[in-house]
Amino acid sequence: MPTLEHKPAGLAAARFFPTGLKPCWTGVVLCLAALALMATACKKDVAMEAIDSDANGYLCLKCGAKLYTARTVFIGPQCPKCQQQSLMDATGYYCEKDHHLTIRPSRQDPQPVVCDVCKAPLVNAMRLPREKDLKAWGATKVSS
């Protein structure tokens, strides 16, 4: 009478888990992968934060007027104060050392940007200023 041979349990598991992982280890690996995904998904995107703003800032190169508008309102290049064609967009540069935002016109200047407070060079620190930053800079709101 022929006898049935029983295959070891390891061979049956190898059919479903070709990498050689046992069924209990795959659950652990899946849990660790899910935890890693959750941990990385909750971080702020620095690039999106840098380009997100609720206001547009401007600086007149002739009279020195500091102005800002709502994000959906754009003015320029004529300054509402002196009526000259010298209004430039304002851009911020964030200093990690002292957490200060230096605001200046966004023109292609060969001179490096330095922090207003600590005078450190600001490299790769460009960020759009928000309304509260523009107010602290001394800008006044223009309606249109």
Same domain, 129 and 110: yes
126 in a structural domain? yes
- Cα dihedral across residues 13, 19, 25, 29: positive or negative: negative
Read off the tokens for 14: 């190898």
1 in a structural domain? no
Question: What is the C-alpha separation between 83 and 79, in angstroms, rounded?
Answer: 5
User: Could you give the number of structural domains in the chain?
Assistant: 2
Q: Which amino acid is at 64?
A: G
63 in a structural domain? yes
Query: What confidence score (pLDDT) does residue 52 get?
Result: 74
Same domain, 13 and 82: no
Same domain, 86 and 31: no
Residue 133 φ/ψ, nearest 5 degrees: -65, -40
Using CA atoms, how far residue 49 sits from 44, 53, 112, 114, in Å, is: 8, 8, 23, 21
With beta carbons less than 8 A apart as the criterion, state whether 100 and 129 touch. no
Question: What is the C-alpha separation between 49 and 62, in angstroms, rounded?
Answer: 31
For residue 71, the enclosing domain spans 47-141
pTM of the complete model? 0.63
Same domain, 21 and 36: yes
Query: What confidence score (pLDDT) does residue 53 get?
Result: 81
14 in a structural domain? yes
Average pLDDT, 10 consecutive residues per value, the chain (144 residues):
58 53 63 70 61 87 93 90 92 91 82 88 88 94 82
Point out which residues pair with 57 in neighbouring strands. 68
Same domain, 23 and 54: no
Same domain, 65 and 119: yes
94 in a structural domain? yes
Same domain, 77 and 16: no
State the number of CA atoms in the 13 A half-sphere of 18 facing the CB.
Answer: 0
3 in a structural domain? no
Same domain, 34 and 70: no
Query: What confidence score (pLDDT) does residue 44 get?
Result: 60
Query: What confidence score (pLDDT) does residue 40 get?
Result: 64
